[in-house]
Copies of this chain bind each other. A is one copy, B any other.
Amino acid sequence: MSRAKAAVKKRAYHHGDLRDQLVAAAEAIILERGVEGFTLREAARRAGVSPAAPAHHFKDAKGLLGEVALRGFRDFGEALDAGDRRGGDDPYRRLMEQGNAYVNFALKHPARFQLMFAHGKYDITYPGLAETGDKAFRVLERAVRAAYAANPGDDLSPDAYGYLMAVWSIVHGFAHLTLGGEFDWAARQRGGGKDTILKHFLPLTLKHLPLPSR
């Protein structure tokens, strides 16, 4: 009997799949109760193990959330990359598609996104996390480099930096404010929820995305 099979059998002393199931439980808890509602003991309870069991897979509670954040940044980076590719050759379209992907990811995976930018909640020194986060961020930088025709390795021009920050700010701000419910009045006007925001108000907003000056 394999380890994974043993996991479905109840009360096996050795869980067999605890690490992954702790991550899954953590994501579920954050989704249900918000980042604030997460507790390590609850995650252990859902996985059917004692409160001390997670210590054998993660340094502490913030370590487990570090793994959740890492997986979030990995998928996030891939989503941005897919958006970038959808943009083809046009620098503006590449940035526009990335912006759409950015907000779409946030609204499709609110638990992950909220955690990823909830500083202090997870261990930022978790192995691989910094690299994975940087990788995601560099997808955006790459598109800005192309838009400003910067050679690889060269520093971006001040204006290119400003543009990079402006684009990042507008999509991140929109995602953060939407998840925070600050645009609920807008959704209520159209009688819808997240879908309305994504399909109706995001395009309305992103059409004001600044154009790269070169």
Q: Which residue numbers of A lie inside 8 Å of B, CB to CB? A: 34-37, 117, 119-121, 137, 155, 158-159, 161-163, 165-174, 176-177, 180-183, 186, 189, 201, 204-210
B165 lies within 8 A of A201 (CB): yes
A180 lies within 8 A of B37 (CB): no
- Alpha-carbon distance between A117 and B175 when the two chains are bound, in angstroms: 13
- Alpha-carbon distance between A168 and B186 when the two chains are bound, in angstroms: 13
Task: Give the chain B neighbours of A121 by CB distance below 8 A.
Answer: 36
B168 lies within 8 A of A34 (CB): no
Task: Give the chain B neighbours of A119 by CB distance below 8 A.
Answer: 34, 36, 180-181
Q: Residue of B at shortest CB range from A197? A: B165
B205 lies within 8 A of A34 (CB): no
Least Cβ–Cβ distance between A97 and chain B, in angstroms: 17
